[in-house]
Structure 1
Amino acid sequence: MSTILANGLAVDAPGSSPATRSLSHVLAFGLRLLTGWNAAAPAAPQSRKAEADAVREWAWTFARTDRSFFDDLFAAADRHERLQG
């Protein structure tokens, strides 16, 4: 990967050889396989209610360990759902 400077010159970043790039792609692919992570975007935009419900569902994972963060997530979901867009 190269970086473009303000004067228009491209400078190669350290470790930007083709072998390094190939290795990073292989490692990233392996990480995605191991963790099941997928960076694909959702097929269609969700409604505000659906987004707020998803945040509320996620918030429940913090109900026992971090009650204040749980409360903050629920409050943010409520604000998001009620926001006039």
Structure 2
Amino acid sequence: MSNPTRQRPLYGPAPRILLPLKSGRPGRVKAVLCLVLLTASAVGGRMWWRSYYFEQTDNAYLAGHVGTISSRIPGVVSKVLVSEKLLVHQD
């Protein structure tokens, strides 16, 4: 009833099987890793520089003087003959 081949015990460390790494060029892995690290540091450095030297906010407001504009004659405005951001000269 006993098997003449040696069997692995049920408990205990499993045998280690070391497989060789199959990479055609070992320098390629280092080059890609260096490129990824260089890109990440460049992007991180630019983000830090922009956040340090430029202020940015989502809740900005303008402070200024408010003036009332009124017409010289009474009446209703029927047409406005200028468009937005158009330079208007006084004659």
- Structure label with greater radius of gyration: 2
Higher relative contact order, chain-length normalized (CA < 8 Å, sep 6+): 1
Larger % of strand: which? 1
Larger % of helix: which? 1
> Smaller-chain TM-score range?
under 0.3
Structure 2 length as normaliser, TM-score?
Answer: 0.25
Structure 1 length as normaliser, TM-score?
Answer: 0.26
